[in-house]
Amino acid sequence: MASSPQRANEPAEHRSPIGRLHRFWQRVTDGLELNELWNQFRVEARTSYRLYSREIDAAPKDDVKRRRLWWVKQFFWSIMEKLSPVRRVLLLLALFLIIYRTELTFSIKHGTQLVGFDLRLWGGLLMFFLLILEIADRVVMKRDLQIAREIQTWLLPAKAPEVPGVEIAFDTRPANTVAGDYYDVIPRAASGDSADPKYLIAVADVVGKSIPAALLMASLQTSLKILTATPAPFERLVCAMNDYACSNSQGGLRFTTAFFAEYEPAARALTYINAGHNWPILRGKSGRIAYLDRGGLPLGVEPRIAYEMGTAVMEAGDWLAIFTDGVVEAANEQATEYGVDRLIAVLNAGADSSPAEMLRGIMADVGAFVGNQPQQDDITCLLMKAV
């Protein structure tokens, strides 16, 4: 049989058994090196362990042996309860066949041939079948999550609008496929006695992660877009956002921390309300640090409350860093958090750079600090520099 033109054009080393084995390994590993595979395994193992172990209560302290058996039992049930009933039965049957080391042998009447069945082999095949079922669910869910991720990407701004007198950059790094962080810079029409346009700056963090947080974030974003299009004063806009969040917060369980600011380029004036969010850092050109902490409770905790407003003026060379807690609470292998002081150090070191360059530096520094630890929360940062 003649070989295909594609295989005929391949180098000889690619057609050899070693070459085919190399291509197979590259396809399996996506070209990752062994150390990269090991680091990825460590991250995924830690993430999976935390998923199962976080539902386990404190073990009894009276007996070490009893405590270990208790922990194994709790961990086993934590895994079992995440499977459907029929898959629990399949898992138990597979474990029984693997552990029960017996070979069933049958003889044929008209002959001396014996036919044996190793139960461990069938247990392994059953376990493989169960794995295939779980992978099928994961593929479907991953496809749906990817679609949700694309929709969320459409909802978030791709780039900041041109704002007179300032440069703006923002970025987000979800802990999962979809995130509960939100950021935006929205132009507002001139209203009242002022004919100058204003810009609403928003950074929010919905409690929780993944799909529930992403759904609530999308709902809050829609509400904010609608309210921003009205001529309502800034304080009334934030109060309306809180009232809306309270109607969808399950009695305060699904609250949202948020920072809202209204920037007026003509006066370089910033009016802000901090709704339970991490205090944004205002770094003056001289290096002086101030925190924007005026405001009140997170959105969705208590309806019909009044928020305290704060003000600031951004002179040329001043920096404003707004971030979610995923930045400063990112932890390394020693369980040490990144912290505000380290973020300020990065701001000081790159004070002469552009917001885009500074943002890349912050994200890279957080990544280097965390190392191989799995990301526990969504990371979002918005930087604004007066020019």
Concatenated DSSP letters for 200-236? Answer: EEEEEEESS-HHHHHHHHHHHHHHHHHHHTS---HHH
Of residues 169, 365, 366, 202, the one with CA closest to residue 277: 202
Q: Domain residue spans in the chain?
A: 12-82, 92-155, 159-386
How buried is residue 20: exposed, middle or buried, by Cβ count under 10 Å (0-12/13-18/19+)? exposed
- Per-residue buried b or exposed e for 68-78, using 16+ beta carbons within 10 Å of the residue's own CB: eeeeeeeeeee
What phi and psi values does residue 199 have, to the nearest 5 degrees?
A: -130, 130
Domain 159-386 has CATH 3.60.40.10: yes
Residue pLDDT tens, the chain, 387 long: 444 555 555 565 556 788 888 888 888 888 878 887 787 787 777 777 776 776 666 656 666 667 778 778 887 888 888 888 899 899 999 888 888 766 655 555 555 555 556 778 888 899 999 999 888 888 887 787 788 778 777 888 888 889 999 999 999 998 887 888 999 999 987 655 556 789 999 999 998 777 888 888 888 888 999 999 888 899 999 999 999 999 877 777 789 999 999 999 999 999 999 999 999 999 999 999 999 999 999 999 999 999 999 999 999 999 999 999 999 999 998 989 999 999 999 999 999 999 999 999 999 999 999 988 888 889 999 999 999
Instruction: Tell me if the pTM is above 0.75.
Output: no
- Helices 339-349 and 355-370 pack at an angle, to 10 degrees, of 140
